[in-house]
Amino acid sequence: MSEHPMSTDAEVESTAFTDRDRVEGEHEAASVRAVLINRPRQELYAFWRDFRNLPTFMENVKSVEVMESGRSSWIIAGPAGADFELVSEITEERPGEYIAWRSLEESDIDHEGWIEFRDNAFGRGTEVRVFISYDPPAGPVGKVVAKVLQREPRIQARRELRRFKQLMETGEIPTSKAPDAAPRADRHL
């Protein structure tokens, strides 16, 4: 468990973040984030639960292969062009509400996490909360490298959750990548 205080986007006081047990992971670093998505809970759950959909909004996930008995195999783009393989197993599942998982021993990254979908009590859509806990690949040095390359898992998780919201609410993921989406001049002068 990280000794750093956790930052969240929660707009209301939430048990998800005040209940310490729920956000204490077994690994060195942890990240938790909440987002309000203006779509029905079942639709969001169903999209996420089909793990093959995840590479559409998780930029560093190259592919997900779904295997038997709640297992899936992930190829993740790591720092400096290296790929990681992660085999994950569902540890708890409540259809429409909650999925928890953890990595199996053969994985390159030790990792566990959960995602929760709740109806917003005030009719504002679905509250989605994600928790991940992990040992940074290749220890502290790996974390620095990952940060420089913007592949630090915590930053990545924040951006992936944003892209998930964008995709589910608007049907696409906004981009301003040069040159096609946003042309720009070559740097000179």
Partner 1 sequence: MRALTWHGKHNVQVDTVPDPQIVNPRDAIIKITATAICGSDLHLYDSMIPGMSNGDILGHEFMGIVEEVGPRSTLKVGQKVVVPFVIACGQCFHCGKQQYSACDNSNPADKSDASEIAYGYPVAGLYGYSHLTGGYAGGQAEYARLPYSDMGPIVVPDGIEDEKVLFLSDIFPTGWMAAENAMIEPGDTVAIWGCGPVGLFAIKSAILMGAARVIAIDHLPRRLELAKKNGAEVLNYHEVKVREALMEMTAGIGPDACIDAVGMEAHGFAPDNIIDAVKQETKLGTDRQHVLRETIMACRKGGRVSVPGVYGGIGDKLPIGAFMQKGLTIKTGQTHVQKYLPQLLELILEGKVDTTDLISHRLPLEQAADGYRNFHDHPDEWTKVVLKPH
Please check whether residue 38 is in contact with residue 49, taking contact to mean a CB–CB distance below 8 angstroms.
no
Using the rule CB under 8 A, is 149 a contact of partner 1? no
Contact region with partner 1 (CB under 8 A), list: 41-49, 97-105, 109-117, 159-167 = 159-167
Contact region with partner 1 (CB under 8 A), list: 68-76, 87-95, 98-106, 151-159 = 151-159
**113-116: long-range contacts at Cβ-Cβ below 8 A with a sequence spacing of 24 or more?**
113/25, 115/48, 116/16
- Using CB under 8 A, which of 12, 24, 38, 94 touches partner 1? 38
Using the rule CB under 8 A, is 169 a contact of partner 1? yes
Residue type, 119: D
CA distance 157 to 164: 10
Kindly state the smallest distance separating residue 125's Cβ from partner 1, in Å. Answer: 7
Using the rule CB under 8 A, is 105 a contact of partner 1? no
For partner 1, the closer of residues 105 and 172 by Cβ is 172
Q: How far is CA 100 from CA 30, 94, 97, 114, 149, in A?
A: 15, 9, 10, 4, 28
CA distance 52 to 55: 7
Point out which residues bind partner 1 (CB under 8 A).
Answer: 36, 38, 124-125, 150, 155, 158-160, 162-163, 165-166, 169-189
